[in-house]
Structure 1
Amino acid sequence: EAIKGDIEVGRATVNLHGLLSCAEARTMWLPLIDRHKQAAVPVVSGELGITVVQCYRLFVRINSASLPVKDSLLTKGGAIVVRHGKQEKLDSCDAGYMTKPTHTWPNPVQRVYYVPYGEPSQLQVSGWTYRVLGGEVTGFCHGWHNVFLRGMPRTQPGADPVPLDLNLTLLPSSETDANSVMNVSITLQESVGYEGVVPAPPVTDEVRAAWPPERPVTRFFECCVLNAKGIIAMQPTTEDPTLRDRLREKIRESSDSVGVYTRLEFMHDVLDTRHVKSENNPVWNEVFTFYSLPVVPAKGWEPTPPEFRLSVWDHGLRNHDCLGAGFTKLEDMEAGSQLPLTFDLERGGVLNVR
């Protein structure tokens, strides 16, 4: 990156046909070719190390859902949102808002996600309602459910895929939503075929020699989000003291997902705690599980360990406001050990996790 724009240092091209595997991640080093220098022999400007792993396709379809309607004059509708890591989310709003107590979409609402073989991950299903506040449409999360994916499809190659129908009860996202749960019906269907893939020639011995001898062992860790102390949250941003008091009371009385929550991000997982209505000292005591597939070092290169990121958010009546974030790397942790962590938040206060 330069002052007048990006300058390409070199480019590597590789045909991945025949290099992917369901059994192991594969690391290879590719020469970077400088395309801007005209020479009879390509000018090599370094190397680029990559790791590739094969994925299978997971089709997710939203069938129907229940809609807990409150203050019907203000409620515009509801929606179901499905996420898998940082891939594009599946939002049923694309097919229209939920408008009935039990809503069934006339046309399939579905998306395909790519799930790496051998890497456990989670599919997060969340339910939302949308209300008109101050002339603007604001979304409120009613709850969620995490579907565990173990990284190995149920369908064997050559067999016909069998759809898996799931009826989920979404975990309430705030303490006051216990009587306002949402239920959703979704269908999962895997695809492990190779439609449209051209068979590749055998891989050479030179390429095979660059692969790691064995697949690294997947590790997992649990994070318990304990509490935050000394924060300043759920405060209306207005200079009018009378209006400020009225909005503060409205926030306290709201039965939706207004409140403070913590977001956890690690590799391809992005998960949230429930929303807690506390202006200074929210308590969660929620446990989340994450999975890590170590990157194999090669040619003396030490890979950068993935960061574990935690951030505290204040969900007001109209928007989400970040109160602060913290980062840590977990490569030095020993199996079975516990590591208490305290993060200082930029907007004041601390976050405590274990």
Structure 2
Amino acid sequence: MTTTEAEKTGTPAQPQNAAKPVVWRDPAAKPFVKIEGVTKVFDDFTAVDNVSLEIYKTELFCLLGGSGSGKSTLLRMLAGFEEPTSGRIIIDGVDMAGIPPWERPVNMMFQSYALFPHLTVEKNVGFGLRREGMADSEVKKRVKEILEMVQMGHLAKRKPHQLSGGQRQRVALARSLVKRPKLLLLDEPLGALDKKLREETQFELINIQEELGVTFVVVTHDQEEAMTLSTRIGVMNQGEIVQVGEPHEIYEYPNSRFVAQFIGSVNMLEGTVVVDETDHVIIDSPEAGCMIHLDHGISCAPNQEVHVALRPEKIIISKEHPGTQDNCMQGTIEDIAYMGNMSVYRVRLNTGKEIRVTQPNFVRDMGSRLTWNDNVYLHWQIDSSVVLTV
């Protein structure tokens, strides 16, 4: 597993959802899903490249990556729809080599939902149970329970074409959960929903997962969705998992430029390390037009070229000089986007570098706001940026 910044410093960050047991921090805990050196090759293309990962019971783990990163292929190997070219997948202590999908303690919810159009909601949900030969009375009991849980009991007699996108998504989720799998795999489960419904459904999904205690593995390309849903995130790129951590760790302590730029918005400033002590670093950044001062040391060669990642919301923008030379850039506002709850500023520094700044809109008075072509200062605290050497 990738070492997180919290593990390096010995001061683990607080979990996004404090109600969830933080089992992955317990050195004695045994992983529920263990992926050991898994590689998947299609002809001459390596879709998944030597991935090792541990997922713990009751986690809601997100595999996050762009198109072609290998996340869906890894999910399909967990489900048994693809066999690894090399490596092992162990679920609940059992090696899954050669075990077909229908014999694994796993269920999968597909992005398309794949509901039977000619069956009602309750018959869609109970289909798998009936195929297994379960008694009709038990099928009805389980179906009723799970439909009430996903708030679809009142629509049990409807057919898929009579439902909204969000309702179909809930039926697909109910069908996946009704068999009580130990592990539920979800491939872009909310991708077909509009933004507002997707946000609402994210929290419903979290509540259902917590109530049932089923381990979820979710594949998504949506960074915001991964940050909202997950206990931990595995960021994938070109078939590899490049960082694993809690949402807070991934966002605040990215381990590379790729992760910093993939998760949220970030400004990258190039510079040269001129001071590297155990408790602080000073970087000379000509494109920032100032010295950049950080409150921690790094391990690098003398005079090494590095990148400093600075999130837009960490920057303070003002017309007045903050009274410090370090961590202080000067420029002109070129563009402003008013987003309601916040404003986004694109500032052209005197050095020519463009910087993005976000600022919450605390007041309604438009007259007090910064405007186009204002000369401004941008400054930030010494603990607000991260040095990246890769």
Range into which the TM-score falls when normalised by the shorter chain: under 0.3
TM-score with structure 2 setting the length: 0.20
* The structure with more strand, counted as a fraction of residues: 1
* The structure with more helix, counted as a fraction of residues: 2
TM-score with structure 1 setting the length: 0.22
